[in-house]
Structure 1
Amino acid sequence: MLVLQCIIVASIILIAVYAGLYAFGAWRWKMAARSLVERLDASQGVARSARYDAAEIADLPVPVRRYFQLALTDGQAVVRSADLAATGTFNLSLDTAQWKPFTAQQHVTSDRPGFFWDATIMMFPGVPILVYDAYIAGEGLLHPSIFGLFALGDLRGTGDIARGELMRFLAEAVWYPTALLPSQGVTWTAVDDASAQATLTDGPISLTLLFRFGAEGLIASIHADARGGTLGGNIVTMPWECRMSNYQRTEGMCVPFTGEAAYTTPDGDKPYFRGTITQIAYQFAP
């Protein structure tokens, strides 16, 4: 009987400790996330243009012009910020398959490129990895943490990490497509009838991604020749690609609700993100 009582008491203590860690970690994480989102919003400048005018796409490469004709409505307001929610699976390693379920919230700004991605990845039942991935005022940030208390890494800076995060912003601009317009700072260069290059500059960073368009004219994939990723315990540059599908019309725009991201490693194509947008809310220029 005494042994059973000790087991019960120990179990209650463990449950209380777990609940305390979970609650404190969540609270601490929420405060840090709020601070970063406020910093992101404060980094915004004056909107470049408040309305989309179809005349601005007249001289763009044919597949790009066709895309904007499908994705946007002439005269519509430009997206200034967006809030997205997503669910899906995330592979914790490119070396071995470790797919785990995730939920995420993302806040995006477009007057100056920026985003804050706040995700919960369930490493094991009841054991969450909280992750924020961000590009704020020219700085890249990546911080994973168990329970929001025990850091698994902390990358931040204005070098390669910032460049990689700005790539993510540009690739994901299909979710807030007015950000891809020339009036919003993107330069388009013809490649062929089904692809074109998009160049975006923010401060000292200038990068170019290859956009490929599907048979229906919408963006099917976005490709970078080199983006940093972790392979074999080391950060290396590899070809990187986002694939978009399941386009739906919302707020006068046609955007994809399903996406996949992958690196091309020496062992072949390695997807690491598969997600579905569950909610999008836009804030438009007045």
Structure 2
Amino acid sequence: MADLPRPVRRYFEAVLEPGQRPVRSVRLTQCGEFRPGGVDDPWKPMTATQDYSVDPPGFVWDARVEIAPFLPVRVVDAYESGRGSLRAHLLSTIPVASSDPGPELNEGELLRYLGEAVWFPTALLPDAGVEWTAVDEGSARATIRDGETTASLVFHLDDEGLVKRVTAAERYRQEDGDYAPWTGHFGEYERRDGMALPSKAAVEWNLSEGDCQYWRARLESVDYRY
């Protein structure tokens, strides 16, 4: 820990207790809203269950989005065995969207895993394969590698050493097949199993025409496996 950049040490001192056991896997549930069509579209109610593994890094996000009354879309976003995927089905059976594994999607999904590791912060320790470099007194860059895929994010800390946002200068945007800046916001930290983690989160694309927030949610439950 002593060899880590100062902002990274501040973060781990703020969120981990001495002797904290490393998390091997976690299941969490979320309740919030999703806006797939851009800033002019209304927010849609959403609930989700998400499972993560740390070694190897991976996740499966299984969400239900109510696009209209009694008309749910099931969205499954995943990073498994080094491969990203996205599937959406109307009424759980009718395909409405899909993205197959490829270098851009794989990187984007590993980037998502890295940012969301604030919900199981022992996965951000160097022992879990994350490399840290200082950016300034209040931020540091985290990099993770999984096979041929590499993802990096800048973690920005508040005055208490907690992550308030993560940023990527470029993340692949499937809607237009190009890269764009991306930001994840975190807040309202709570202690669970000895770790401080955010109970609220939101994500957005930072486009030339303005920021486009498309997901926001509250953490409902967390179940850790050590």
Q: TM-score range by the shorter chain?
A: over 0.9
Contact 1:141 1:155 in 2 (8 A): yes
Partner of 2:85: 141
Contact 1:138 1:158 in 2 (8 A): no
Partner of 1:214: 158
- Which residue among 243, 255, 258 is the counterpart of 2:200? 258
Structure with bigger helix share is 1
TM-score normalised to the size of structure 2?
0.97
Q: Post-superposition shift, 1:122?
A: 0.1
Q: Post-superposition shift, 1:230?
A: 4.3
Partner of 1:58: 2
- Which residue among 192, 199, 217 is the counterpart of 1:275? 217
Hey, what's the Cα distance between the residues in 2 that align with 1:214 and 1:90? 26
Q: Post-superposition shift, 1:119?
A: 0.3
Q: Post-superposition shift, 1:237?
A: 1.1
Contact 1:156 1:162 in 2 (8 A): no
Partner of 2:130: 186
Contact 2:110 2:150 in 1 (8 A): no
Residue-pair matches, total: 226
Partner of 1:84: 28
TM-score normalised to the size of structure 1?
0.77
Partner of 1:204: 148
Q: Where in structure 2 are the equivalents of 1:85-124 lying within 5 Å?
A: 85-94=29-38, 96-124=40-68
Partner of 1:71: 15
Contact 1:171 1:222 in 2 (8 A): yes
1:75-114 deviations in whole A, cap 9, x for unaligned? Answer: 1210000000000010011262231000000000001110
4+ runs deviating over 6 angstroms? none
Amino acid across the alignment from 2:170: A
Q: Post-superposition shift, 1:207?
A: 2.0
Q: Post-superposition shift, 1:153?
A: 1.5
Where structure 1 has 5 or more consecutive residues not aligned to the other structure, the ranges are 1-56
1:231-266 deviations in whole A, cap 9, x for unaligned? Answer: 4xx232110010100100010100001000000112
Cα RMSD for the two superposed structures: 1.0
Hey, what's the Cα distance between the residues in 2 that align with 1:197 and 1:116? 25
Hey, what's the Cα distance between the residues in 1 that align with 2:24 and 2:146? 16
Contact 1:94 1:230 in 2 (8 A): no
Hey, what's the Cα distance between the residues in 2 that align with 1:120 and 1:133? 12
1:42-83 deviations in whole A, cap 9, x for unaligned? Answer: xxxxxxxxxxxxxxx111111110110111112121000000
- Which residue among 73, 77, 83 is the counterpart of 1:129? 73
Instruction: Name the larger-Rg structure.
Output: 1
SS in 2 for 1:157: coil
Contact 1:114 1:137 in 2 (8 A): yes
Residue 182 of structure 2 is aligned to residue 237 of structure 1: no
Q: Post-superposition shift, 1:206?
A: 1.4
Hey, what's the Cα distance between the residues in 1 that align with 2:162 and 2:20? 19
Contact 2:189 2:196 in 1 (8 A): yes
Hey, what's the Cα distance between the residues in 2 that align with 1:151 and 1:164? 22
SS in 2 for 1:172: helix
Amino acid across the alignment from 2:139: S
Amino acid across the alignment from 2:199: F
Contact 1:120 1:131 in 2 (8 A): yes
Hey, what's the Cα distance between the residues in 2 that align with 1:196 and 1:281? 28
1:188-221 deviations in whole A, cap 9, x for unaligned? Answer: 0011110000010000011211110011110111
Identity %: 39
